[in-house]
Structure 1
Amino acid sequence: TNGSITESTTYGDNEHSAPATHPIGASWKLWEKLAAQDSAFGHPAKFYQDIPAANWVMSATCTFKDDRIVPYIQKITGKDPYSGSIVTSGPVSIRDSNWLLGISISRQPHFQQQKPNELIVWLYGLFSDQPGNYIHKKITDCSGAEICQEFLYHIGVPENQIAEIAQTANSIPIHMPYITSYFMPRQAGDRPLVVPEGSSNLAFIGNFAETERDTVFTTEYSVRTAMEAVYRLLDVDRGIPEVFDSAFDLRTILSALYYLNDKKSLTELPLNQIEKIGLNAFLKKVHGTYLEEILKSQKLL
């Protein structure tokens, strides 16, 4: 496995920030040594060096015991965090956060050892070069309690309660220097092929190996590259599951449009007069056609 986004991770605590200094990780050193022998093994420097200042290197876990935050989470998500269902159904971005703070709350309890009165929130900041709105420091310089305070401020907790609630929580800041590496600009050849040309006993697996059409940052990518490596090197006559071409599936695109617009149909969208005229003309044109059936099946009509 060449490269790693969690290599060299450091941790802080309620009172201390996570150290930003770190040695180069072993997986990156290994890839560098391989790449020095043959250009077919890729260019690791593209991924772990010169990472931009506005990056995602910081996240944190906050374990709350104070139920005063529950109504604020419930107002944002529409769910009781103790209901037993997934609370945020994925990450939620706070658009007016200088850090572009994101929150994700999984089904509670999330861990087997978690106590009934504990609520665990995962936070991350995508802009680590900007001062916070409440804590006027970069997220990389903040202790766990300070990151927690910034989160409480953005979800609407009264300022006279923020410090007290944050102090009773257990917040762990996490510095991951290579978490942005998957998303660095690259070109063909920067990642090695899973099985380099002419190789009979060496393969690369994971998100820094090149395979067709798949998207990085997924477990599926790692599994698919491992299948490709094993099947090709051991001459196993078995097919690798194809990547679903959602970008070319009209139904998937229309369904995404429905959910991106907060589950509104086309006629419920906030359109101006010219856009409404255009939409009405379009709907008349597709009336009675298969396209109208697809729009209805994806809840846009």
Structure 2
Amino acid sequence: MTKHHNEAAPFRSQHPEKINAYLVGGGIASLASAVHLLHDAKVPASQIHILESSSVPGGSMDGAGTAESGYVLRGGRMLNFSYLCTYELLATIPSLSDPKKTVMQEIEEFNAIPENKTNAHARLVAKGAEGPEIVDVKQLGLSMKDRLDLVHMSLQTEGSLGTKKITDCFGEAFFETKFWYMWATMFAFQPWHSAVEFRRYLHRFIHEFKRINTLAGVDRTPLNQHDSIILPIETYLKAQGVDFRYNTRVTRFSFQESPQITVNEIHTDSKGTTGVIHVQDFDIVFATIGSMTACSSIGSNTKAPAPIPSTQDALKAPDGTWALWDSLTHSQHGAAFGNPSSFYTRPTESNWLSFTVTLHDPSFFSRLVEWSGNTPGTGALITFKDSTWLMSIVVPKQPHFLNQPEDVQVFWGYALFPDKIGDFVKKPMEACSGQEILNELLGHLNFPQHPTLESATTIPCMMPYITSQFLTRAHKDRPKVIPEGSTNLALLGQYVEIDEDTVFTVEYSVRGAQMAVYEMMGVNKKPKAIYKGEHDVRVLAEALKMLIT
């Protein structure tokens, strides 16, 4: 990250007791910032203030519901050893189940148990003449042209790729290969997404090539990520005395009249009551910009989610993150804050639909285990490649929620093409109720409807901006973590620019938080270097071997 002449940083490092830190947003980026402000910058906990628009922290890393009403997960995350910043963070947080252990130790012990290890036996499923057929994915199905195109893309610079789409770099046949189906659904890429982001993933996750067909390198959390990661961090920070201000939406910042970027007022709205926080000398402000889950619409077992919003509805989202970023670009320092309209104005290119199924009958799980050869928690993604919706499901180890009864099972799924007509339910996924989505899944598996359909609760969720960070963009559309000339403002989340790292990962948010804390507070420390498997001859050889198989 480019160093800035922040004259206050030496003072801040020497006098942290004089600092108030205002963290806008309660997602993992702000929570990580709070931890590092406490541990590394020594800011008193009571002077760290987290301003969250909703009534709970966690941002997009959510998980809620009950066995009676149905559980809801908007998404899930695949962790792995290359998440060096994330794992460093979790190694400092006490486990909720055993305070003598850290969250990281809990995750390591969970994944070390042999029966918990990921080894997908049904990664891809095709539509056969007599029902679903598990695809042999020992080979990637790439032609020589596909291989050359992948190598060519990986060797290009981001400048040469510019605003190209993935489709601009590959022939049509590439998007029917087993490699594409596995890579695209593992990371949620669409063919029209940014070639630059796709290239970054090829480099960043080259170590996953050799096990893309089994996902054996994936680390799981014992429960869903909200209960296993967010809740322990929140509990720890509250115990230390960090100030959480819920139902507090930040609407805009005021700046000093100066060539430098210095926030002097934070304007808030709390349930219709407006307020102003006066930012004093040497205080700092961290703001999460943009939101991949803004305008999410939750349906029900009997009702479809709301339609995709209009292109400007992001600015009306209750969490206010898109509106806040947009307001920054209209300030006197607008040029330093990127271009949010590149990300929120194309919801038809960035949306997909997820669904969470709560089962009250064990027959579905029993059939799935017998058919797939994977017990819950070991199969990672199952993708139905011939599904018009391109549907995938994840069946985690049970229980998946803290309050989940023993006789209830939960699994999660998503589809990349919710505007397409279903193969069994003849309507677009986005117009389907939860029960209709489950019916479509049962059709692809050739499982009987009874007793699963009538005893399950399926809750769909439409997310218009879920992959907006993958959209084609110009180089300066994403602002720096600390904008040029900033004295007290840092930006966090999935829409800042961190060279060589990959968006749509927890690691991206945590790395950005560390960068912001260390520089803004003058801490003599840097985030761990981004893992680069391509610099390891063995990793590179294994990837090339898989590529040419």
Tell me which interval the TM-score lies in, with the shorter structure as reference length.
0.7 to 0.9
Matched pairs, number:
253
Query: 2 CA distance for matches of 1:136 and 1:253?
Result: 45
Query: 2 CA distance for matches of 1:187 and 1:141?
Result: 34
Structure 1 residues 125, 210: closer, same or farther in 2, change over 3 A? same
Match of 1:93 in 2: 383
Does 1:31 pair with 2:321?
Answer: no
SS in 2 for 1:203: strand
TM-score (norm 2): 0.44
Identity of aligned residues (%): 36
Match of 1:126 in 2: 416
Match of 1:48 in 2: 344
Once the two structures are superposed, the pairs formed by residues 202-241 of structure 1 within 5 Å of their partners are 202-241=489-528
Return the offset for 1:76: 5.1
Once the two structures are superposed, the pairs formed by residues 124-163 of structure 1 within 5 Å of their partners are 124-157=414-447, 161-162=448-449
SS in 2 for 1:20: coil
Given that 1:149 and 1:163 are in contact with CA atoms closer than 8 Å, whether structure 2 keeps it comes out as no
Return the offset for 1:193: 0.4
Given that 1:43 and 1:190 are in contact with CA atoms closer than 8 Å, whether structure 2 keeps it comes out as yes
Given that 2:390 and 2:415 are in contact with CA atoms closer than 8 Å, whether structure 1 keeps it comes out as yes
Query: 2 CA distance for matches of 1:31 and 1:168?
Result: 44
Query: 1 CA distance for matches of 2:514 and 2:298?
Result: 34
Q: Kindly provide the CA deviation profile for residues 251-293 of structure 1, in whole angstroms up to 9, marking residues without a partner as x.
A: 33444567x79xxxx9xx6xxxxxxxxxxxxxxxxxxxxxxxx
SS in 1 for 2:347: coil
Match of 2:465 in 1: 178
Once the two structures are superposed, the pairs formed by residues 251-266 of structure 1 within 5 Å of their partners are 251-256=538-543
Which ranges in structure 2 are unaligned for 5 or more consecutive residues?
A: 1-287
Query: 2 CA distance for matches of 1:249 and 1:47?
Result: 35
Return the offset for 1:72: 3.4
Query: 2 CA distance for matches of 1:80 and 1:59?
Result: 22
Q: Kindly provide the CA deviation profile for residues 181-214 of structure 1, in whole angstroms up to 9, marking residues without a partner as x.
A: 1211112101000011111111111111111211
Does 1:62 pair with 2:352?
Answer: no
Q: Kindly provide the CA deviation profile for residues 128-186 of structure 1, in whole angstroms up to 9, marking residues without a partner as x.
A: 221111111111101000011111111221xxx32652221010011111102121111
Structure 1 residues 130, 247: closer, same or farther in 2, change over 3 A? farther
Query: 2 CA distance for matches of 1:3 and 1:254?
Result: 38
Return the offset for 1:122: 0.3
Given that 1:58 and 1:128 are in contact with CA atoms closer than 8 Å, whether structure 2 keeps it comes out as yes
Q: If each structure's strand is expressed as a fraction of its own residues, which one has the higher value?
A: 2
TM-score (norm 1): 0.78
Return the offset for 1:234: 1.4
The residue type equivalent to 1:67 in the other structure is: P
Query: 1 CA distance for matches of 2:541 and 2:398?
Result: 32
Query: 2 CA distance for matches of 1:128 and 1:45?
Result: 23
Query: 2 CA distance for matches of 1:64 and 1:12?
Result: 17
Given that 1:51 and 1:180 are in contact with CA atoms closer than 8 Å, whether structure 2 keeps it comes out as no
Q: Kindly provide the CA deviation profile for residues 75-96 of structure 1, in whole angstroms up to 9, marking residues without a partner as x.
A: 4542233xxxx2323x222101
Does 1:168 pair with 2:455?
Answer: yes
Return the offset for 1:67: 2.2
SS in 2 for 1:146: helix
What's the Cα RMSD here? 2.1
Tell me which of the two structures has the higher relative contact order, counting C-alpha pairs closer than 8 angstroms and 6 or more residues apart.
2
